[in-house]
Amino acid sequence: MDRREFAGGGLAALAAMLLPQAGNRHAVPSAGLRSSPWTPRDMLLAEIPTLMELALVPGLAFAVVDGTRVSTYVFGQSRRELLLDVTSDTEFEAASLGKPVFAAAVLRLVDAGVLALDRSLGSYASLPDITDPRTSAITVRQVLSHTTGLPNWRQAPGPLVPDVDPGSRFTYSGEGMFYLQRVVEHVTGKPIEHVMREQVLDPLGMTASSLVWRHAFEQTMATGYDERGVALEVYAGIGRRLEPLAGRWGRPMADWRYADAERALREVFPQLPVLGQFMVPNVAGSLLTTVGDYGRFLISMLSDGGGPLSLTPATWRAMFTRQVDLNSALSWGLGWGLEHEGDDDLIWHWGANGSFRNFVLADRRRRRAVVVLINSANGPKLYQRIITSITGRDHPAFLWFQV
């Protein structure tokens, strides 16, 4: 569907894309890590256009990080209808790849004494939909390790209630991240976009990244496509529709807090339930970024905790220390999935907004990483092949449940 159709039938499709989906939870052993550098083979680069055609994938970009060097590769079209090519400046919906970026910002606030990992969120802020004592008792650590017990997203307005007891097991939850976003806004007294800029985006030079729509993105934003190749934008589409309202209010979206996002949703999308998953800004899904900008973030994740983010050694270790096991090969730290292979631990995360599918994987010990951004729901078919080829092995994270 094109942008004019977004407000019509596209809203139903959007709602379906953002609600929880089922998946497999099985991991299998894989071969040992390849010791050679993570460099894409010429054969892979030559094959990608054909693989994209076969998988009905319009465009993709990926970056390979080696220490402090980022090499970017772009293929296909960012907007098929306009015959626009993907470039290094193309904006993609990062989807859940924004969660580790938010986690880094939160951990900086922990180091600054603004938040504490094991203090209840309810002790920081009283929110009208937080009425269950179990929800109030959820901690920052539980949010970042996805052990809140909360659903991925609520399907109807009402109190935010855990599906299982917080701390009992892994329950992947965008809702938990959005809850923490609201608490962060309360304790800092700042809109979440400002917090993200101050804590992570500006220090790392991620100037092309934002949780909210910018008018300049009109020239660089990729369109997302569903499994059939039909155009379907998610957070970029929401942001584009909200831009005129921000103009009428005289209040840029970058200055919006939760109350602004809630009011905007009611005014512009009255067909949608008033739920966080449809609001912008949203740390769990609305990050718009380029492959080069995300590469800059990965450079910081491959460091020893120094540099622009300057996390303390204890906080840095906690980010990459298993907080909860998923299975024999996978666990979760604070903001990152962890993959274990012998003495090697990799960090990883997926991103899925329905029409954008992304994946990032990094080997911190050898200071190398790869991130793939794809503007198609068929993206996993491609990013799995690309990452397997570059790293020299298959990965259990590909086989585990993905939302």
In a domain, 34, yes or no: no
Taking 60 as the threshold, does the pLDDT of residue 26 lie above it? Answer: no
In a domain, 92, yes or no: yes
Residue that wins the pLDDT comparison between 349 and 233: 349
List the domain range (segments joined by +) for residue 371: 3-19+39-399
Taking 50 as the threshold, does the pLDDT of residue 17 lie above it? Answer: no
What does the alpha-carbon distance between residue 262 and residue 266 come to, in Å, rounded to a whole number?
6
219 contacts: CB under 8 Å, gap ≥ 6: none
In a domain, 30, yes or no: no
Q: Give the phi and the psi of residue 367 in degrees, each rounded to 5.
A: 55, 55
Question: Can you spell out the DSSP letters for 256-297?
Answer: --HHHHHHHHHHH-TTS-S-GGG-SS-TTT--EE-HHHHHHH
In a domain, 32, yes or no: no
In a domain, 29, yes or no: no
Environment class of 126 (CB within 10 Å of its CB; exposed 0-12, middle 13-18, buried 19+): exposed
- For residue 92, what are the CA distances in angstroms to 35, 143, 281, 374? 31, 25, 15, 8
Residue closest to 260 by CA, chosen among 161, 250, 226: 250
Domain CATH code at residue 386? 3.40.710.10
Of the candidate ranges 8-22, 151-165, 201-215, 316-330, the one whose mean pLDDT is the lowest? 8-22
In a domain, 31, yes or no: no
In a domain, 285, yes or no: yes
pLDDT at position 253: 98
pLDDT at position 306: 79
Beta bridge partners of 324: 332
In a domain, 26, yes or no: no
pLDDT at position 402: 60
Number of domains observed in the structure of the chain: 1
* 51: its two tokens: 């693989």
What average pLDDT does range 247-263 have in this prediction? 98
pLDDT at position 32: 45
* 6: its two tokens: 């977004």
